[in-house]
């Protein structure tokens, strides 16, 4: 499938429908790289302060302030340091970085130059997930163009700041978009999250200080540098400024990508932008931020899509992938698919995650087949609780939360499977 | 030095130590302060994957893994709270989900950490109705190790060991999630000089040595602490003994000597104790020149008579003594005393040499070369020319190392000796030329001390009894000396007494005897014994 253009555009995706925008000529014709020139004349501290004041939050999942992530870089350095661009996008329901990589590669390069200047990185590793062949090719072409034009490597900007980008490809593991697992994979090791000390410390690639930013976050940077903090803060909410790319999939009339300000209500995205549920059916639930985030039931869809408001409902914005499900959806079947995904993708390192994710999947499979009991539901809840907060990374939490969310809001579906000894939705939702 | 509190008890820790490291250094881990753990091992890097060692640390809302949480000054840790117990229960239940209940046929049963911790921290009943993961029960990882995939709990100690200790890195984790499996890389075999340590590291019965597999139940084995006699490193080990037979060697931790490791050669060296070619009777040459079995006492007397005749006719200068560097300090001290009492030209020690490595294996293939040097024995190279030149008429030799290619190479040069008295554990070509052969106890059958390459004096203890009349080399020599009429050998031979008189009369051994060395050994007083 060719990913063409977003359904609604803002500053991020403007011109993304234009094939020429992916070329250096097309990008510079529309004002591209002027922000990079401006940034390279600035001092790193000025850029850091600018981004901190802008309130830009990372768009990759956790929603951490980008400025705070940059501040983790040590001020004293005795050798090279790196920027890593996380293009490992693998959250089911999330497909926004792919559009930027394929349709706006020079915007990403420009964002990388700005972040590299601000953090003092001398090289960027662009880690692209294995399945993104088209995106990798687009980036290769764009990097080559940027090199020959002197934006990267030796050349035009070199007197002020020499920088280059190295593309590395993942092999398709979900966990490799977790930043420490990504760094392990980047170093050629098995993709597993690293142990984190209980106190915050900086990240390292190849033993050197490293900043990891995701694709969309970096793509906001040229706009912030070009138009300033006040302009950026005119979009979105006080705590979550700017626009973001919402990927809408599932039971909607018009699935696709929507660039909208943060804080846009979920029901507005589903019913106005994505034009509602087809076949006159009613919505049953929406997973707001990709598979890892707890589901929201039909009654809670008036929530503004920003981290501060979603957290109150035990959900998160994540990578902005909305999965919409209508009333014919069996939530036990959904639990099967989600827990199957987490079982398949657990790296297997921590006991809770390796064994727990497998057990969750087996339990919901049993329930979906109609051979489960009330006790199985109780065990399901207990296992999910025991997986929470005990593993190295957040994967086990996600696996637990997704099931807990379904149990919290759709307990009736689970009970009905036990009572009727079969799936009451049989045939309603074929995979 | 920083101080922290665990369950109300105060401990010291070094800056940078994690909670488990500090408890291990204090000697209380699982011995006073119980923090169960699988993936953590004192001599391997921290993995933090089993999540069993979670403890409550005041100031942190989540439980923290003790293996990877650095101790800070005045940190307060709780290991017995309800939250900790619940977390341990949770981990144990998950680990047992896919672990087969085949303890009845599992070699690890009885020393299995999964069994132990399930009893101590788990729940008695299983809640799962799901079938357990089926996997391969018998994977040959290499020549020494057999792997049971079903039993593996993926603590990955073996993977880290191969990468970090021998540096061979044959093992890795393959696949993901609950399909994860330990295996060798394609085309590779787990084949390095330390491969069998992975079986000790494995907390469950997933990795077993081909050597010990299905040989004995471990609860029938008595662990006798001793020292390996394979080379001059003197690795500490336990002999696993049942029914007067050694079934295995396993390493015994000594951070000053071998950490927690043992080389494969040393591990398998117990086989020589029960070997078919043990010298199991005293032999004397009869009137026809045939070597025949005679009562021990008779052979001692005959040997003493031959030796006495040589000394009386030609003087003690034509008598030489060659000791073995596998003898204990007490054996060697007794030998030296006998040779001094006879007034011979010197005392020599024969030493086998071989390959060495950076880790444990040393070039000198005997446990007590340094002890022999400290006691005044000279290298046997110096006596070889005297023997070849006919300057030696009578030879008392312990062991057969004198026949090694670097020394005599064969028995030819010994054929014309007037008297050759051999004391040995095993039969050898010396039978062809010896006038008397006296069986000697193996290191596994005797008490005594060895001095390792770095001058550390360590005790050995008898694990088994020989099935025939045999004494320590020191005792045989004392009997011989007594029969020769030499003064102060009448009292027989008691290793403890000999070690005490050695401590009194040899400066390097001052204060070091069998009653003081303990289980971890003591360094020699001076650098004399340095190898």
Predicted local distance difference test score (pLDDT) of residue B481: 97
Contacts with A393 from chain B: Cβ below 8 Å: none
Q: How far is CA B395 from each of CA B92, B319, B375, B521, rounded to the nearest angstrom? A: 65, 6, 20, 34
ipTM for the predicted complex:
0.91
B→A contacts (Cβ < 8 Å), by residue, are 46-52, 54, 57, 60, 62-64, 68-70, 86-87, 90-91, 93-95, 97-98, 127-130, 153-154, 172-173, 175-180
Find the mean pLDDT for residues B63-75. 95
Predicted local distance difference test score (pLDDT) of residue A291: 81
The alpha-carbon gap from B65 to the nearest alpha carbon of chain A, in Å, equals 9
Residue B531 pLDDT greater than 50, yes or no:
no
Q: What is the pLDDT of residues B294-335, one digit of tens each?
A: 999 999 999 999 999 999 999 999 999 999 999 999 999 999
List the one residue out of B170, B196, B232, B221 whose CA is nearest residue B454: B232
Predicted local distance difference test score (pLDDT) of residue A160: 63
Find the mean pLDDT for residues B264-281. 97
List the one residue out of A40, A44, A41, A17 whose CA is nearest residue A30: A17
The alpha-carbon gap from A269 to the nearest alpha carbon of chain B, in Å, equals 35
Mutation target vs A (from B57, B157, B178; most A CBs, 10 A cutoff): B178
Q: Select the more confidently predicted residue: A7 or B355.
A: B355
Q: Token digits for B101?
A: 């209940």
Predicted local distance difference test score (pLDDT) of residue A178: 93
Residue A389 pLDDT greater than 50, yes or no:
yes
Which residues have a Cβ under 8 Å from the Cβ of A146 and sit 6 or more positions away?
A: A24, A106, A109, A152
Position A198 confidence tier, pLDDT thresholds 50, 70, 90: very low
* CB–CB contact B49 A345 (8 Å): no
Rg (CA), chain B: 27
Q: Which of A343, A379, A391 sits opposite B177 (nearest CB)?
A: A343
Find the mean pLDDT for residues B244-256. 97
Cite the beta strand spans of A206-254 per DSSP E: 208-214, 243-250
Find the mean pLDDT for residues A147-161. 76
Predicted local distance difference test score (pLDDT) of residue A294: 82
Find the mean pLDDT for residues B383-394. 94
CA separation for the pair A117, A47 (Å, rounded): 8
Predicted local distance difference test score (pLDDT) of residue B529: 42
* CB–CB contact A359 B128 (8 Å): yes
Given a contact cutoff of 8 angstroms between Cβ atoms, the answer to whether B398 and B322 are in contact is yes
CA separation for the pair A141, A136 (Å, rounded): 9
Position A161 confidence tier, pLDDT thresholds 50, 70, 90: confident
Q: Which of B46, B47, B95 sits opposite A355 (nearest CB)?
A: B95
The per-residue pLDDT of chain A, averaged, comes to 92
Position A351 confidence tier, pLDDT thresholds 50, 70, 90: very high
Given a contact cutoff of 8 angstroms between Cβ atoms, the answer to whether B196 and B333 are in contact is no
Task: Average the pLDDT over each of A197-201, A205-209, A307-311 and give the range with the smallest value.
Answer: A197-201
Cite the beta strand spans of B274-341 per DSSP E: 283-285, 291-293, 319-324
Q: Select the more confidently predicted residue: B529 or A364.
A: A364
**How would you classify residue B27: left for phi > 0, otherwise alpha for psi between -120 and 50, otherwise beta?**
left
Predicted local distance difference test score (pLDDT) of residue A78: 86
Q: What is the pLDDT of residues B449-491, one digit of tens each?
A: 999 999 999 999 999 999 999 999 999 999 999 999 998 898 8
Predicted local distance difference test score (pLDDT) of residue A431: 38
A→B contacts (Cβ < 8 Å), by residue, are 173, 190, 195, 197-198, 343-359, 362-363, 366, 376, 379, 386, 389-392
Position A62 confidence tier, pLDDT thresholds 50, 70, 90: confident
CA separation for the pair B335, A414 (Å, rounded): 84
Residue A430 pLDDT greater than 90, yes or no:
no
Residue A1 pLDDT greater than 50, yes or no:
no
CA separation for the pair B405, B391 (Å, rounded): 21
Residue B530 pLDDT greater than 50, yes or no:
no
CA separation for the pair B52, B37 (Å, rounded): 5
Predicted local distance difference test score (pLDDT) of residue A292: 75
Q: What is the pLDDT of residues B367-388, one digit of tens each?
A: 999 999 999 999 999 999 999 9
Find the mean pLDDT for residues A190-215. 85
Pairing of strands B347-350, B378-379: parallel
Q: What is the pLDDT of residues A263-322, one digit of tens each?
A: 999 999 999 999 999 999 999 999 998 787 789 999 999 999 999 998 888 788 888 899
Find the mean pLDDT for residues B57-79. 96
Position B423 confidence tier, pLDDT thresholds 50, 70, 90: very high
The alpha-carbon gap from B150 to the nearest alpha carbon of chain A, in Å, equals 13
Which residues have a Cβ under 8 Å from the Cβ of A296 and sit 6 or more positions away?
A: A266, A285, A286, A287, A288, A303, A313, A315, A409
Position B528 confidence tier, pLDDT thresholds 50, 70, 90: very low
Find the mean pLDDT for residues B158-177. 97
Which residues have a Cβ under 8 Å from the Cβ of A272 and sit 6 or more positions away?
A: none
Given a contact cutoff of 8 angstroms between Cβ atoms, the answer to whether B468 and B427 are in contact is no
Find the mean pLDDT for residues B198-227. 97
Residue A200 pLDDT greater than 60, yes or no:
no
Q: Select the more confidently predicted residue: B507 or A197.
A: B507
Residue B195 CB neighbours (<10 A)? 27
Residue A323 pLDDT greater than 70, yes or no:
yes
Position B492 confidence tier, pLDDT thresholds 50, 70, 90: confident
Q: What is the pLDDT of residues A217-268, one digit of tens each?
A: 999 999 999 999 999 999 999 999 999 999 999 999 999 999 999 999 999 9
């Amino acid at each position: 499938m060719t990913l063409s253009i977003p359904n609604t555009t803002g500053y991020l995706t403007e011109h993304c429908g234009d094939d020429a925008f992916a070329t250096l000529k097309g990008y510079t014709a529309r004002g591209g790289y002027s922000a990079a020139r401006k940034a390279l004349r600035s001092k790193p501290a000025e850029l850091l302060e600018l981004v901190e004041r802008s309130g830009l939050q990372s768009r990759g999942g956790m929603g951490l302030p980008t400025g705070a992530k940059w501040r983790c870089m040590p001020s004293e350095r005795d050798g090279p340091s790196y920027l890593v661009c996380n293009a490992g996008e693998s959250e089911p329901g999330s497909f926004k970085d792919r559009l930027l990589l394929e349709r706006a590669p020079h915007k990403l390069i420009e964002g990388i130059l700005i972040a590299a200047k601000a953090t003092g990185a001398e090289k960027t590793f662009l880690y692209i997930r294995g399945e993104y062949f088209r995106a990798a090719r687009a980036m290769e072409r764009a990097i080559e163009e940027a090199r020959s034009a002197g934006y990267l490597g030796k050349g035009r900007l070199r007197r002020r700041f020499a920088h280059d980008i190295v593309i590395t490809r993942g092999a398709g593991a979900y966990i490799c978009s977790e930043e420490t697992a990504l760094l392990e994979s980047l170093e050629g090791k098995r993709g597993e999250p690293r142990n984190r000390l209980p106190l915050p410390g900086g990240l390292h690639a190849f033993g050197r200080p490293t900043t990891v930013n995701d694709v969309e976050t970096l793509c906001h940077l040229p706009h912030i540098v070009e138009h300033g903090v006040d302009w950026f803060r005119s979009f979105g909410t006080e705590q979550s400024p700017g626009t973001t790319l919402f990927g809408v999939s599932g039971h909607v009339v018009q699935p696709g990508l929507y660039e909208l300000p943060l804080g846009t209500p979920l029901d507005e995205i589903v019913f106005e932008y994505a034009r509602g549920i087809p076949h006159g059916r009613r919505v049953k639930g929406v997973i707001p931020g990709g598979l890892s985030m707890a589901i929201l039931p039909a009654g809670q869809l008036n929530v503004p899509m920003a981290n501060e408001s979603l957290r109150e409902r035990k959900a998160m914005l994540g990578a902005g992938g909305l999965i919409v499900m209508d009333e014919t959806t069996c939530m036990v079947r959904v639990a099967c698919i989600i827990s199957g995904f987490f079982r398949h993708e657990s790296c297997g390192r921590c006991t809770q995650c390796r064994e727990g994710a497998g057990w969750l999947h087996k339990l919901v499979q049993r329930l979906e087949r109609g051979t489960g009991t009330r006790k199985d539901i109780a065990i399901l809840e207990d296992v999910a609780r025991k997986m929470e907060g005990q593993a190295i990374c957040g994967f086990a939490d996600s696996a637990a939360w997704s099931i807990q969310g379904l149990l919290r809001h759709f307990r009736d579906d689970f009970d009905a499977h036990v009572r009727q000894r079969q799936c009451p939705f049989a045939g309603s939702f074929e995979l | 030095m920083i101080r922290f509190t665990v369950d109300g008890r105060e401990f010291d820790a070094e800056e940078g130590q994690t909670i488990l490291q500090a408890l291990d250094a204090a000697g209380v881990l699982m011995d006073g302060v119980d923090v169960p753990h699988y993936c953590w091992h004192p001599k391997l890097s921290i993995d933090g994957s089993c999540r069993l060692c979670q403890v409550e640390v005041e100031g942190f809302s989540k439980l923290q893994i003790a293996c990877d949480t650095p101790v800070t000054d005045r940190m307060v840790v709780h290991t017995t709270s309800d939250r900790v117990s619940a977390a341990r229960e949770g981990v144990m239940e998950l680990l047992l989900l896919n672990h087969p209940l085949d303890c009845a046929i599992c070699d690890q049963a009885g020393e299995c950490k999964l069994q132990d911790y399930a009893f101590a921290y788990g729940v008695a009943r299983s809640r799962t109705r799901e079938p357990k993961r089926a996997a391969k029960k018998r994977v040959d990882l290499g020549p020494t190790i057999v792997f049971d995939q079903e039993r593996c709990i993926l603590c990955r100690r073996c993977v880290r060991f191969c990468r970090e200790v021998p540096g061979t890195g044959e093992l890795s984790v393959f696949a993901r999630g609950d399909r994860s499996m330990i295996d060798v890389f394609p085309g590779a075999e787990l084949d390095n000089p330390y491969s069998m340590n992975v079986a000790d590291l494995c907390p469950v019965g997933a990795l077993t040595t081909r050597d010990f597999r299905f040989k004995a139940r471990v609860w029938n084995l008595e662990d006798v602490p001793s020292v390996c006699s394979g080379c001059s490193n003197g690795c500490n080990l336990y002999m696993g003994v049942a029914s007067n037979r050694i079934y295995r060697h396993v390493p015994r931790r000594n951070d000053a000597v071998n950490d927690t490791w043992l080389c494969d050669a040393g591990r398998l060296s117990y086989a020589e104790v029960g070997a078919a070619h043990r010298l199991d009777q005293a032999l004397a040459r009869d009137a026809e020149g045939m070597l025949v079995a005679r009562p021990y006492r008779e052979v001692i007397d005959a040997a003493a008579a031959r030796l006495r005749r040589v000394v009386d006719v030609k003087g003690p200068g034509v008598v030489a003594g060659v000791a073995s560097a596998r003898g204990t300090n007490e054996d060697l001290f007794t030998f030296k005393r006998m040779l001094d009492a006879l007034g011979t030209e010197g005392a020599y020690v024969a030493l086998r040499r071989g390959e060495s490595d950076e880790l444990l294996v040393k070039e000198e293939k005997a446990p007590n070369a340094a002890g022999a040097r400290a006691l005044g024995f000279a290298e046997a190279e110096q006596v070889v020319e005297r023997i070849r030149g006919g300057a030696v008429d009578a030879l008392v030799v312990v062991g057969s190392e004198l026949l090694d290619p670097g020394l005599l190479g064969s028995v030819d040069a010994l054929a014309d000796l007037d008297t050759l008295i051999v004391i040995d554990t095993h039969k050898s070509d010396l039978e062809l030329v010896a006038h008397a052969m006296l069986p000697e106890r193996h290191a596994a059958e005797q008490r005594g001390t060895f001095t390792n390459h770095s001058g550390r004096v360590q005790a050995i203890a008898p694990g088994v009894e020989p099935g025939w009349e045999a004494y320590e080399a020191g005792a045989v020599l004392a009997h011989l000396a007594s029969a020769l009429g030499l003064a102060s050998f009448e009292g027989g031979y008691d290793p403890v007494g000999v070690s005490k008189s050695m401590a009194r009369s040899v400066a390097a051994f001052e204060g070091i005897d069998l009653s003081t060395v303990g289980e971890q050994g003591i360094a020699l007083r001076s650098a004399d014994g340095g190898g």
